[in-house]
Amino acid sequence: MAKNNIPSILRNLNTLYRNEFARILETTPTLYQKFAMVIPSNTTSNTYGWLGRFPRMQEWLDERTIEKMAAQAMVLVNRKFEATVGVRAEDIEDDNIGLYTDMIREMAMSAAELPDQLVFEALQKGETGICYDGQAFFDKEHPVYPKVSQEGDPEFVSNITEDGDSENAFYLLDTTRHVKPLIYQNRVSPEFNVQNDADKSDRVFMKDEYLYGSRARGAAGYGMWQFAHKVKADLSKDAVLDVRAKMRTIKGDGGRIINVNPNILLVHPNDEAKALELCNADVIGGTTNTLKGLLTPIVAPWLAL
């Protein structure tokens, strides 16, 4: 290949790779949006002082009752992520670039799956990760106060069940609300970067290598603990019905009904067949399946990490 054709080839590659990156980024299936709210971020971190407030319509007596932001608030600090593919100049000159296109596609897929990675990382760390009330997200002692002002002695409510030695936990989630159980905080969506000019890049000049990369910033954390329950037990109809009933009776501060309505059954891949049966079968073990139609099963490979 003639040396003077290289600039033109690089321009064409830039267009090809950028278009492929955008296409794969747009079409890669993800799970996080099914149960995490996407919050835009414009700074290094976001403060979530409004979590835990449940403004409810009530009779207007004298003055309005104002829901105030919590003094103790959750802060999510954005993290930075990258992926980079190096293309040797010789491969450009020798027209040996077919493999790199697939590498760019894989990089785009990884970028698209970053929110899944972070949200499931937060979910799996939920027994130690702190949520807005100062407790671990999955905890046996979430305080619920007798007054909306959070005065008085709290009642402690659990959103984790442990029964037996099951290897895989499953989760019941309520995603019917505008506020979700988890948060994906988006600071910078995945972007495509190129360094292939020897006059502008020391790397190209010194290493004779062109660089194509992706960069993103974001974080994941916890929304409403009331809308998620972790179950460390064998997946069964009785276990699911028991936890679902507990979730539906959860109240907010002041004794107000939150109306939690679990609609997602999130499971490890090993529990896929059982989850599909529980959610879809008409009959289980010779009796009517009272769970049918109540929950949507989601099988999450990320839970296998």
Q: What is the rounded average pLDDT of the residues 258-280?
A: 97
Return d(Cα 156, Cα 148) in angstroms, integer.
15
Assess whether pLDDT exceeds 70 at residue 285: yes
Percent of the chain with pLDDT over 90: 65
The tokens 């077919």 sit on which residue?
98
What pLDDT was estimated at residue 239? 96
What pLDDT was estimated at residue 197? 64
Assess whether pLDDT exceeds 70 at residue 204: no
DSSP state of 226: G
Question: CB neighbours of 108 closer than 8 A, spacing ≥ 6?
Answer: 20, 21, 22, 23, 24, 25, 28, 190, 214
Q: What is the rounded average pLDDT of the residues 189-204?
A: 73
Tokens of 233: 């037990």
Return d(Cα 172, Cα 95) in angstroms, integer.
52
CA proximity to 92, closest of 5, 185, 184, 188: 5
Q: Are 223 and 36 in contact (CB under 8 A)?
A: yes
b/e 51-89 (16+ beta carbons within 10 angstroms → b): bbebeeeeeeeeeeeeeeebeeebebebeebebeeebeb
Q: What is the rounded average pLDDT of the residues 44-55?
A: 76
What pLDDT was estimated at residue 12? 84
The distance in angstroms from the start CA to the end CA of the chain is 46
Q: What is the rounded average pLDDT of the residues 40-49?
A: 90
Assess whether pLDDT exceeds 50 at residue 69: no
Assess whether pLDDT exceeds 70 at residue 215: yes
Mind listing the pLDDT tens digit for each residue in 137-169? 999 999 999 888 788 999 999 999 998 777 899
The tokens 């190129």 sit on which residue?
194
In terms of Cβ atoms closer than 10 Å to its own Cβ (0-12, 13-18, 19+), residue 90 is exposed
Any alpha helices (H) in the chain, and if so which ranges?
6-27, 89-93, 98-112, 114-124, 202-207, 237-248, 272-280
pLDDT band for position 8 (50/70/90)?
Answer: confident
Return d(Cα 6, Cα 93) in angstroms, integer.
7
What pLDDT was estimated at residue 209? 77
Q: Are 104 and 194 in contact (CB under 8 A)?
A: no
pLDDT band for position 65 (50/70/90)?
Answer: very low
Q: Which helix (H) or strand (E) holds 185?
A: strand 182-195
Q: Are 291 and 240 in contact (CB under 8 A)?
A: yes
Assess whether pLDDT exceeds 50 at residue 125: yes
Of the given ranges (12-16, 211-215, 264-268), which has the lowest mean pLDDT?
Answer: 12-16
Hey, is 11 helix, strand or coil? Answer: helix
DSSP assignments along 290-302, one per residue: TTTTT-EEEE-GG
pLDDT band for position 184 (50/70/90)?
Answer: very high
What integer best gives the mean pLDDT of the chain?
87
What pLDDT was estimated at residue 298? 98
Assess whether pLDDT exceeds 90 at residue 127: yes
Higher pLDDT, 184 or 73: 184
